[in-house]
Amino acid sequence: MDGLEKINVTKKTGDEDILYNDKDIGVKLIDFWKWSVSDLLSNSTRGIFAEFLVATAMGIELSKVREEWDAYDLVTEDGIKIEIKTSAYLQTWFQKTYSNILFSIKTSYFWDAETGESHTEKTRPSDVYVFCVLKHKDKKTVDPLNLNQWEFYVISTKKLNELHPNKDKIQLSSIKQMSDSITYDKIKEYVLRAYIGEPL
C-alpha cells in the first residue's frame, strides 16, 4: 500500500531542534535523550545498552539505526544473527534483596521487519545468544559504563534448542552449565566459535 512501506530512519546527532509552528522551542533532541535514557540501570534502557555493547564488541557498523522490532537484535557483516539478553542484580529503586538473574528465551512467531509479516512457526530465529549480566552488587559504585562490572555468556541457539527446547525463561545457574563467563574483549571470539559449533 502506497505510503505505508518501511521508513528508512536516518541517524540523528542530538543537535536537532524540536519545532512548533516551524520555530524551535529552545529544546533539542539531545535534551530528550538525556531525560529519557540516562538511567542505564532501568530494565529497558539497560537492554538497549547491552545490545550496543555487543555491537561494538563485534565491530558492527554503527551508522545504521537500531532496528527495534526485528526478529533478532544484531546481524554481523558475515550474517550471524545475534539475540542479546540482559539482567542485573541492582535496580535504581529501593531493594530488600538483589534481583534474580533471569532471562527470556521463549520461542515466538517472529516478525520480519523487512516484510512486515510474522512467521507461522514458533522458533528462536537467531544463531547465537549473548547473555549480559551487570554483575556489580554495590549501589554506591555501580556504573554500567564500566565494562569491568559486566560478565557475558555466549550460547548457540542450536545448543539452547537441544537442551531447553520448551523453556520460556532460564536462570543464570542453567546458563553457567552451558557457557563460561567471559569479559567484553572475548565476545567476538566466542560468538564466532559458537556460530561454527566449536565447544566453548
Whether the per-residue pLDDT at 185 is higher than 60: the answer is yes
| Any domain includes 162 | yes
| Any domain includes 4 | no
Strands 81-88, 128-134: pairing is parallel
| Any domain includes 83 | yes
pLDDT score recorded for residue 8: 81
pLDDT score recorded for residue 111: 67
| Any domain includes 15 | no
pLDDT in tens, 26-44: 999 999 999 999 999 999 9
| Any domain includes 74 | yes
Average pLDDT over residues 1-14: 78
Q: How far apart are CA 75 and CA 61, in angstroms?
A: 10
Domain count, the chain: 1
| Any domain includes 170 | yes
Tell me how far CA of residue 16 lies from CA of 27, 107, 129, 139, 167, in angstroms: 9, 39, 35, 34, 44
- CATH code for the domain of 148: 3.40.210
| Any domain includes 7 | no
Whether the per-residue pLDDT at 151 is higher than 90: the answer is yes
| Any domain includes 13 | no
Please state, for a pLDDT cut of 90, what percent of the chain lies above it: 80
pLDDT score recorded for residue 108: 83
Q: Which residues of 106-118 are buried (b: 16+ CB within 10 A; e: fewer)?
A: eeeebeeeeeeee
Enclosing domain of residue 137: 38-196
Average pLDDT over residues 121-129: 92
pLDDT band at 2 (very low <50, low <70, confident <90, very high): low
Cell of 122: 514458533
Give the DSSP letter string of 11-70: PP-S-PEEEETTEEEEEEHHHHHHHHH--TTSHHHHHHHHHHHHHHHHT---SSPP-TTS
Angle at 128 between CA 47 and CA 114, to 5 degrees: 75
Between 7-11, 93-97, 176-180, the lowest mean confidence (pLDDT) is in 7-11
DSSP 178: T
Q: For residues 50 and 198, which has the higher predicted lDDT (pLDDT)?
A: 50
Please state, for a pLDDT cut of 70, what percent of the chain lies above it: 94
DSSP H helical ranges for 136-198? 157-163, 172-176, 187-196
